[in-house]
Every structure is written in C-alpha cells, then in structure tokens.
Structure 1
Amino acid sequence: MDFYFKEFEHRKPPGPVPYSMSRELLYQYLATCNLTLGIWYLWWRWSYALNYDAMWFSFPLVFAESCAFIGSVLFTFNLWKTKDEPKKTPPHTINECVAKDSPEGSETRPISIDVFFPSYDEEPELVRLSIEDAQKIRYPHDIEIKIFILDDGKRPAMKALAEEMGVEYITRENNIGFKAGNLRNALEQTYGDFIVICDADTRPFPTILEHTMGYFRDPDVAWVQTPQWFFDLPEGERLPNWLQRKLGKWAAPIGRGFEKFYGPVKIGEDPYVNDPQMFYDVIQRRRNWVNASFCCGAGSIHRREAVMEAALRSYSEQISKEHKEIEKQIRKITKEKAVDQDVSDNLRQEIIFDTEFTPYKFHVSEDIYTSIVLHSDTERNWRSVQHPEVESKMLSPQDLQTWTVQRFKYSGGSIDIFMNDNPLFRKGMNLKQKLMYGASFWSNLSAVWNIIFLTCPIIYFLTSIAPVSAYDVTFYLHFIPFVLTAELAMMVGTWGVAGYKGKTNFLSFFPVNMRALWTVLRGRKISFPATPKERQDGFFGHLVIPQILVFGLSFFSMCFAWFSYFTGMFGSYSIGGLVFNSFWTINNMMAMWGMIAAAYWTPPPADKKQEQESEELEYGI
C-alpha cells in the first residue's frame, strides 16, 4: 500500500529551544508586571467600570475576564522556569536502575525492554514501518528488547505480519478498556523491566533508549516522556507562488513585495495547528521543575515496577472507597451505628471480585489519568521526566473530521477527570503539582468564557450598549498596559516557538470544547474511537457552522455599527468603543477564518507540488 507520507521521510525534527537564563529572567519580570497590572485592571473593572444600566451584559464580560485571568496566572506558573533533568549515561545492568536495598539491587543481568505497539484497525503495512524502525533501536550495552504488536482487531493479517517480522503478537477476546485494557492485557503476559509505549504509527528513532534510559538511574523515575513530532505536517505554499497560481503571473510581484516588508508568508501551512512543539518544548518541558510533566502515551518509556505498584495502591484505594460508601448507605437504611462484621467482610469480597485491576486506567485519557495516580502515590513519590529531544515521529490528523475527533477525546477526557476524580483534591501531590494539573484542566473549561468574548463585540455593535461604564481614556489606561505586557511576556516566554496560531486555534476551538463539556455534564461517556491514519476525503463545512456564524455576525455587526455611526441612523456609539471593538472583532474573525479554511483545505496534488518547488527555485525563495 502506498501511503501519502512517503515523500516526507527525509524530514528532520526541530531541536529543542536552547535554554537562556537572561530570557527566562526577562520573562519572569514581564510576567510579574503583567499579573500585577492584571490584578489592578480587574479590581478597577469590578469596582468602577461595570455598566450598572446593563448588568445582563456587563457582568458576564467581567466574569469571563476574571476566568481568563485565572488561566493566565496558571499558565504563567507553568512557564515560570526551565529545569531540564541532567542527562546521564545509559545504565549497563538492571542494578544501576533500582535502589540498592531492592531485591534486584545486586543483580547484574542486562536490562529487558518491551516495546508495545497497540493497534485496532490500522493497516498492517503502516504498522510494518513502525516495527522496522523499532528493530533499528540501538543501545551501547547488552540489552534484551522485545517488540509486541498488541492487536485489538484480532486480524489474521496482523498476526501474519508479526510472524513475518519476528516480533511477538498478543490479542484478546474482548476490547474492555480499549487502549488501556489492551496495555493491561499485554502487561499480564510480558516481563520487561521497562516498557516503551508507541501508537501504531509511532516510528521510534534508533536513539530513543540510549538517550532516555540514563534518567532511570534514579530509582524514583517512573516514566520518561519524549516529544511527539508529526513529520507529515503540510509545509504550505509561499505567498508569491500562491498568488500566481490563483491570479496569474502579474500577482507574484505583489506577494514578493509584501514578503520583503512582512517576512515569509505561507498559505496552507499546517492548517489544523497540529505542531505539538509548543506543548512539549514549552508547557511540558517547564513542568520538570515541579515534577509535574504528565504522560502523553506514544513516545513514553515506563518503569514496570512503578506502573504495577501504583496500580495496586489505586486498586486498594478504590475498593476501600466503595466499601465505605456502601456501608454508609447500609447504616442509613438500617439506622445502625455499625455494619455487622461478617456482612462487611462479605461486602468487601464482592467489591474485590467486581473491581477491575487496571495498571493503565480504563479511561479515554488513560495516559494523564495514570500520571495522576503515580504522582499522587504517597509511598514512593514517583518522578516523571520530560525529555527535551524528539525521539520518534508519527502522523498528524490530515482532515478536520479526524482533528475534531481527536481534540474531542482530549478535551472530554480531561474534563471528565476534572469533574469526577479531580487531582486537586487527591492526597499525595504537593501544591505546585496540583497547580500544574489545574492549569491543564482549567484550559479545557475555557469554551465557557471564550463564547462570551466572541459574542460581546457583536452585541455592542448591534445595540450600541457598552459592557463597561465607558470606553474613555481611563479604560484605555487600564487595559492597554495589561494587554501589552501580556503579549510581551508571551512572546518572550515562548521564544523560538510559533505561538499566534495556537492562540487563535484555542479561541476557535470553542464548539468542540463546549460539546465535550456538555457531554461530561450529562454523565455521558467519552468514546474511544481510533484516530484514522489517512486523510478522509471531502470537505467538512458542517463541522465549522458555529465558526461561520461567528465570522458572519462579527463582520455584519461591525459594518452595521460603523454605518450607523457615520449616518446617525441608529444608536449612540462612541469612537473609542467602535475602535476597540473593531480590533477585538477582527482578531475573532481571524481566529474563526483559520478553522473555516481548514475545513475546506486539501493538500495540493503531486504535479502542483513539483510546480511550487520549481517556482521557488526560480524566485530564489
């Protein structure tokens, strides 16, 4: 089978952003200024700038601003500093990875590694590529590496592939727990000291073990997460070439002139904003200093002992919790002070029989859930490490439908944990760890206030009612310093990683995020659909109807307000309010446009790509 991504095999991953103490200190200074100005701004908004004649409008906006500011505080804490784990040489034998007083402390046998490739409905030939790369993994010392295909699809073709390539094949009769259940089933049948978790399309680099196993010299390191890198992201088309293709050769000089002023511009570059560098190189990497980087599944290496030990404690806690809850209900019904001991013992046995032992939590977000269990283990104080360098490559969602399914799972899974097993109330984590997890969960509630931010300028334009007391000099003196320092702090804090597209994508994400929140609030389960590894044909305009409505209403309302202002036909607009809300609306429209364009994006055909490359050579770009 010929895969679309074959032409991208030559691509190399970006390196991690180099650490700079001076840049970090500048960020901390700017972030402190921004938070101080933010407190000042919100105090003024709540105390002096509410429009008491329209509290139905004014209160939701100041509420949204306050919620967004809480997110900014958490994000600032997340980005506060970089503290990479010192690299260590790869261990020779297992006794170098465990505590000296452990049963394996005196063993000098080689380390054993199990490499898992969970699969459900992926093409065998796709998995073949992953296995071929896994077989190239090298290590400077003797080591035992076993590769396993974990086939939840029970396919003869996948079993034949395993036999052909000389790797192990594991399947099961049911799909209980989906990926987490698949991993649990494999753990019951394997014995490696460490486990490398991959997806079916994860292509590990030969260096993945020699660059990461050194961290496990610390016996408290439970897992190491490596950055995920999508090597098939669309590179886009330079503006002069795009204008020439759409309008003719006369338009190319316009594009070149614009690029001389603005810099290189690419059309169709990663339209879904899949590039995960912001997440891994900035957010996850800067959680190392408080031991709060969490597992993200593919590309992670786990200590088997940690996974099983934490699972046992979690299993025991779950049984005890259910036992207490049922006994409480029995006492309430019988009006007795205590439950009979024999009844209590029998009840506990029944709960043990009915409770699943799950090394990886049976959950759509099993990776972060398992991280929470390990980080809250009061007995061992397990540590995690975010490795800064890319050690594998994988495929990105190539259409909006696939992207939406994936983001819905991520968002819904996080919200479900936040609502039903909130780590902020778990024993075992320190305050800094809880704040880091809180930042992740808070961001998934953002659809609530993002909807307010999207609708407020529309309401102002259509009614001329202001959500603040006045758009006057006092307003701008409070608002502008706060926003400017926020942008400067963000620019410095994420230096070396493109951030603007991520911010606009975060805003336009509101329909998916809202649907995930509503699903959890209704008590519905977030499903476990496997992410397709090939582009789904067609356009997906039905998925961006909310964004189209916001874009259209924003544009119409802005034109209506300016026309009304100049003609005096309607309302009592102020020039300050019109200018402020126009900038606000344009930002919202740009965010919506990115998602709308992604719904109709298709990769250029092969002949167009060759034509683009020749034109770039011709123009010297």
Structure 2
Amino acid sequence: MFYLSEIQSSFAHLAFAFGASLVLSSLLDPKKVAHRTVLFGIGMALSVRYIWWRGSETLAPPGLTFDCLFSWSFFAIEAASVLSSLSAFTILTRTRSRSAEVERFMEWWKPAEEPKVAIMIATYNEDRSVLERSIVGAKASDHHNCEVIVLDDGRRDWLQRFCDDQGVRYLRRPDNKGSKAGNINHALDVLVADAERPDFIAVLDADFVPHADFISRGLALFHDAKVGLVQTPQHFFNPDPIQHNLGLSRSYPDEQRFFFDHLQPSRDAWGIAFCCGTSSVIRWEAVRAVGGFPTDSITEDFMLTLALQEEGYKTVYLNEALTEGLAPEGLKEYVTQRARWCLGLMQIARGRLGPFASNRLRLRDRWSVIDSVFFWLTTFPFKIAAMTFPLLYWFFNVTVVNASVADVVSYFGVYMIWVLFVLNFISAGLIIPIVNDVSQLLGAIPISRAAVLGLIKPKGHAFSVTAKGGDRTKVVVQWRLMRPFLILGGLTILGLFIGLFTDQFAFNDAGDGKIVILFWTVYNLIILAVTLAVCVELPRAERHFADRPERALISVDGALKRVWLTDLTQETVRIRGAGLLPGTRIAIKIRNVGRMDAIVLQATSDGGVLSLDIDPKQYEALLRRLYAEGNVPSVTRTRLSAIMTDAVARLGRR
C-alpha cells in the first residue's frame, strides 16, 4: 500500500506540473522579462532539486566496484550537463528586440554623407549556381552607396569573367593562408589603398543571399558609436538533413532556429551576442582597430566579437530575416560543420581571449565563452553516455541509476515536463523530444572528439569548408556515419532480449529499477531508429519555403490560358490548370520576371513541368525574386499535429 501511495503521489506531482504549464501558458507573455525570470527560476530550482536527488539517493555506494565507477561517472557527466543548462536558463531569462530601434534610426547620418558599404562575398569552391544568386542579391541592395566585392580563394578565371560581366569587383590572393579570415583580411588590406575607403563592411558566405534591405536595416544600429558589429540571423531556403530525411521540411524547424531566433536575442539582452560569420555588418574603423579578423581560431567570427569587445566595441543582434542561405544538404557536411564550430570554440577558450587569460574582457564576456564551452563539452558526451550506459545493466548487471519509478517520476519527470514547457513556451514549440535527441546524437561522436582535442591541442587544425550545392538527386546511405548507430542498436536489442528472456541475467532480480531501465532502453531504441532513418539521405529538388501558387498567363498555339504557377526554380516551373503534351512549346508570363518561351518537359495530370528559356536580365530578376525578396523562409514555430502528419507521410513513402 505504501508503494502504491508513493506512485500516486509522484504522478500527482507530474499532473500538477503539467496543469500549471497549461494555465501559465495562457496567462504569461514570453517576451516579458519578469515572466521569463519566474518560469526559468522555477526550472532552475527543479534542476537543482533533481541533481541533488541524483547525487544523494541514486548512486552506488563508494567502493572498488564497477557499479560505483560507472554510476558516479554517469552522474558527473549528467551534473555537468545540468550546470550547462543552468547557465543557458539564466541567459534565457532576458530577451531583446531591436526592430523598433531600427525604425527610429533608419537614416541617422546626414543626407550628403551616406556611408559607403563594401559587401564582401567570401568564396572558395562553390558552384556558379550558388554564387550567381548571392552576387545578384547583393547588387539589389536598396542602400545606394554599396560596392560588391567577391573574394575568391579558389582563383577561378571563370568567376573573374562572371564578376566583370556583373560589374562587381573581384579579388584573389596567391595563397589560402588563414582560410576565410585570411581571405577577408587580404581584402581589407586592398581596400586600405582605395581613394575612398568604406565606412562599413558586410560579410556574406558565398551561399547567402541578402534581402534588399539587409544593409539599410543593419546600418541603422550603428547610430551608437560603440557598436562595432551588427549580426543578423541565418535563415535557409532549403531544409537541413534532419528536416529533409524525416520529411519534416514544412513542419519542423532547422536545427539552428532556436539559437538564432531565441538564444541570440537573449544573449543580446545580456550584452553577449556574438558574430556568426555570415550576414553581419561591421564598422570599418572597428575591424581595423583589432587588426582584422582573428586567424588563431577556425571560428574567427566568435573571436572577432571578443576582440572588438576588448577594444571597447560591442556586438548587437538584429533578429530579422534579412538573408537566406544554404543549410548543409548532406549529413557529412552537417556533422563536419558542427565539429568545426566546437573545435574553434575550444581554441578560443585556450587562447589569448579565453575566459581565464590575461585580457581586458568583461566578466560577462568570460561567462559567454564558458557557457559555450560547457554546451559543447557536456551536451554531446552526455548524449553518448545516455545511449550506452544502459547496456552495462543488460550485459553486466551494472546499475547506473538505482531509483524507484515513483522517485523518477517525481524528480526527473516533473523537472523534464517543466523545462520542456518553458522552452517551448518561449520558442513557439521548437523543442521536440526525440527529434532534438536525434540532432544531438548524429554528431555526438565527432563533436565530443573535437571538444576534447581542442582543449588538449588547440593549435594546428585545418579549416574544413562546408560543401554546398552539387548533385543531390539520388538516395545515398551514409554507411560510415550509420555504423556506430547500427552497432549500438544491435547491442541494445540483444541486451534487451537477454535481459527479458533468459533466467541468468540481471533483469529478473532488478526489483523496481527494471521498469526504469526498460523505459530508458526502449526510448533509446526509438531515438536510434529515427537516427538510422536520417542516415538515409533522400533525393532533393530545389524548393522554396515561400513558394505560393499564383496566377499566370500562358500562350499555347496563339491561345491564352490562365493557369496556376507553382514550384518555381531557377530553371523550371510547374503549372496547373492546362492539359499539355511533352515537347510542346509555349510562352509564359511570370510576375516580376517577364514573358519568356518554355518547353514542356513532363506532362502531369493537371498541367506540366516547363523548362524556361530565359535571357540574362530575366534570370537576374528571377534570382532576385526567389532569393532576395519575401518573408521569413524558415519554419519558426511548430504544431505537433503537423509534425505527426508529416512523419506518418514519410513512413508511407518508405
């Protein structure tokens, strides 16, 4: 009876936390600092309560036993992860929007002194199809005093000719020393010799396309003479590998959405927003004052923020979708990019601008670096531990967490329910269990390796370029990336089978803890199954989040027909509402692009897919329409019903 009473009490705690979250979600405002502070304050209290319980009641007794070794080591990793969460929760208690400030200071300079901006597009090996839309978008800026400069570290003659045709400046250097940072620094040195130096520079990766108002809105925040850099978020016009391979492109956000839409505005409110490389505008005198972009870390962007701060210049964040780029399209590129970020951050932590080095950084800047180090150093090793430590129980009868179901529900369940509620309350539902776990697990091994390696050996690491573009039209199974998850899944299933269906192994004498370990193991199997599905890369076709059907006119054999235009890309368009035969030549008029000839590539039940015969001026207009105009292209909020519908549809396509 006592045990039943304990179970009932623990579920009452869980029900109370769930009910409180439902009530508070309708009463509180996620943008008010006071409300956020209360919610995250409760979350921090529950985090401390949980980890105190773990440390005081669930660990194996001290001694020279495997139970003690693994129980305490798992607790140490988990405690470090909770400490990282406490830092993140503290940051998230505040938030800031600068859009109203931008509106007030859109033209703070005198009319006769419009500042000059050099828009720098750094490139190494990107395809022409990637570069041309970035260049065309940069040329379309509504700030008149701009110069577009292409910084070619690939030394490609065809790109130089293309830049000449486009009327933009082309720069190349004899070597690739310093990677992207060195490329930008070379350009800065060239600009010093110009008769008219820029007042500001804007930095774009080769695959990022600025909206027409990117420069004008970014410049508005430089009314404050102490602002050295304005960072804007990165949005993407293609889904990342997790979204795409799970079929969630239109219902689930890209993996970076929470960081750019919610964590960076919170960091800005604390004065610790940082540069993220592309999509930033920088004061010329500020970047020259720090000697250009730092080259002693492969994440030169974060380090630039610290260098600017040391010289008295601050970095601010404008949370508006003013550029769009390519998310990594393949899993290898996705993982490589994140491991590079991790390695670069560890280099910063060990370098001259690290949190414990002798420098002029503020206490909050040191906290900013420590917070980032803790994120990389705890999140991903903890994910590996959470997936592997249950195997110790099934195969070796090693109990890592010795707890009753009632206590797990009361301490862990309440803590988790509350944290999920608060994070989803402030982010409009961006934190989805399982999918978030998969995004962390995919890169956990190389990221953990990079974290340790970067701390031990911070120097001598090459810059790995994230490949963008290329042929993505085939199914590709990433066997090498999948292998550890296949092995882990096989061992988990085998261990579960041995524990459940044999007499001599641990499960039969585990007592109440067997339910805890069983739930933990089954959850891990679900995560592993989804992870394996993500490792099967599906074919991609160019699509745009902002695509909406619109009316258009076509001419077939001299007869005009009104049709629906959908799925517009750089080369093709699909139309609906007219019967067409393959090979038929027609004319079509597209809004803001013009009239052009086309040929029917493929007939569909309600129309066809057309190949466009487009002249250079129309092509530029099409690029501007596809990439330099429009609203937020990314998924920025979620509905569970939409995610479930897309997931079921994805299963149906298998």
Shorter chain as denominator, the TM-score bin is: 0.7 to 0.9
1:308 to 250, 272, 288: 288
1:430 counterpart (353, 362, 387): 362
Q: Identify the residue that residue 223 of structure 1 maps to in structure 2.
A: 229
Deviations 1:192-218 (A, max 9, x none): 101110011111100112222110101
Equivalent residue for 2:124? Answer: 120
Q: Note the C-alpha offset of 1:61.
A: 1.7
Name the structure, 1 or 2, with higher relative contact order (CA <8 Å, separation 6+).
1
Deviation of the 1:539 alpha carbon: 2.6
Provide the C-alpha distance between the structure 2 equivalents of 1:227 and 1:175, rounded to a whole number of angstroms.
Answer: 27
After superposition, the C-alpha distances for 1:175-233 in whole angstroms (9 at most, x for unaligned) are 11011011001111222101110011111100112222110101111111111111011
Match for residue 131 of structure 1?
Answer: 135
Taking the aligned partners of 2:236 and 2:40, their CA distance within structure 1 comes to 31
Partner of 1:267: 247
Residue 20 of structure 1 is aligned with which of 29, 34, 42?
29
Partner of 1:197: 203
Summarize the alignment of residues 314-463 of structure 1 with structure 2, pairs less than 5 Å apart: 358-377=292-311, 380=312, 382-421=313-352, 423-426=354-357, 427-446=359-378, 447-463=380-396
- Segments of 5+ residues of structure 2 without an aligned counterpart are 1-27, 192-196, 544-566, 568-573, 575-602, 607-641, 650-654
Give how far 1:503 is off.
4.1
CA deviation after TM superposition for structure 1 residue 24, in Å: 5.4
- Alignment of 1:591 with 2:527, yes or no, is yes
Alpha-carbon distance, 1:72 to partner: 0.9
Asked whether 1:558 is paired with 2:496, we answer yes
CA distance in 1, matches of 2:320, 2:414: 36
Give the corresponding residue for 1:8. Answer: none
Aligned pair 1:479/2:485, yes or no? Answer: no
Structure 1 contact 397–535 (Cα < 8 Å) conserved: no
- The structural deviation recorded for 1:80 is 1.1
The answer to whether the 8 A contact 2:293-2:300 is kept is no
Whether the 8 Å CA contact 1:201–1:394 is kept in 2: the answer is yes
1:87 aligned onto 2:101: yes
Bigger mean CA deviation after superposition, 69-78 or 579-588: 579-588
Contact 2:207/2:326 (<8 A) preserved: yes
Deviations, residues 31-64 of structure 1 (Å, cap 9, x unaligned):
2223223223333333343211621121112112
Deviation per CA, 1:488-515, whole angstroms, max 9, x where unpaired?
2222233343444334312342112123
Q: C-alpha separation between the residues in 1 aligned to 2:178 and 2:73?
A: 40
Q: Which amino acid aligns with 2:76?
A: F
**Distance (Å, rounded) in 1 between the aligned partners of 2:206 and 2:243:** 30
In structure 2, how many angstroms separate the alpha carbons of the residues matched to 1:230 and 1:280? 12
Could you say which residue in structure 2 is the equivalent of 1:70? 83
| In 1: Cα distance, 2:500 partner to 2:34 partner | 44
Deviations 1:416-471 (A, max 9, x none): 22233463225433333332332222111123333222222121222333224443
Aligned to 2:426: 493
Aligned identity (percent) is 21
Q: Report how far residue 527 of structure 1 moved.
A: 2.0
Out of 34, 42, 45, which is 1:33 matched to? Answer: 42
2:205 counterpart SS class: coil
Task: State the AA in 1 paired with 2:132.
Answer: R
Query: Residues 388 and 91 of structure 1: is their aligned pair in 2 closer, same or farther, counting only changes over 3 Å?
Result: closer
State the Cα distance separating 1:92 from its structure 2 match.
8.0
Q: Which residue of 2 aligns with 1:43?
A: 52
More helix by share: 1
CA distance in 2, matches of 1:584, 1:483: 14
Equivalent-residue separation in structure 2 for 1:415 and 1:612 (angstroms): 53
Aligned to 1:5: none
CA contact (8 A) 2:232 2:279 kept: yes
Distance 2:252 2:410 in 1: 36
Alignment of 1:513-532 (within 5 A): 513-520=447-454, 521-522=456-457, 525-532=460-467
Instruction: Give the distance between the partners of 1:399 and 1:59, measured in 2 at CA.
Output: 37
Report the residue type matching 1:481 in the other structure: V
Q: Report SS of the residue matched to 2:529.
A: helix
Q: Partner of 1:331 in structure 2?
A: none
Instruction: State the shift of 1:412 in Å.
Output: 1.4
- Counterpart of 1:175 in structure 2 is 176
Letter of the structure 2 residue corresponding to residue 87 of structure 1:
E
SS in 1 for 2:56: helix
CA 234–511 in structure 1, closer or farther in 2 if over 3 Å, else same: closer
Cα 1:275/1:307, change in 2 over 3 Å: same
Letter in 1 for 2:524: N
Q: Show the counterpart of 2:263.
A: 283
SS in 1 for 2:159: helix
Determine the structure 2 residue equivalent to 1:3. none
CA drift at 1:90: 7.7
Deviation at 1:594, TM superposition (A): 3.5
**Any idea what SS the aligned residue of 2:150 has?**
strand
Q: Secondary structure at the match of 1:423?
A: coil
Normalising by structure 2, we get a TM-score of: 0.71
Per the alignment, do residues 171 and 395 of structure 1 end up closer, same or farther by CA in structure 2, a change over 3 Å counting? same
Instruction: Choose which of 545, 561, 570 in structure 1 pairs with 2:483.
Output: 545
Structure 1 residue corresponding to 2:274, chosen from 294, 302, 326: 294
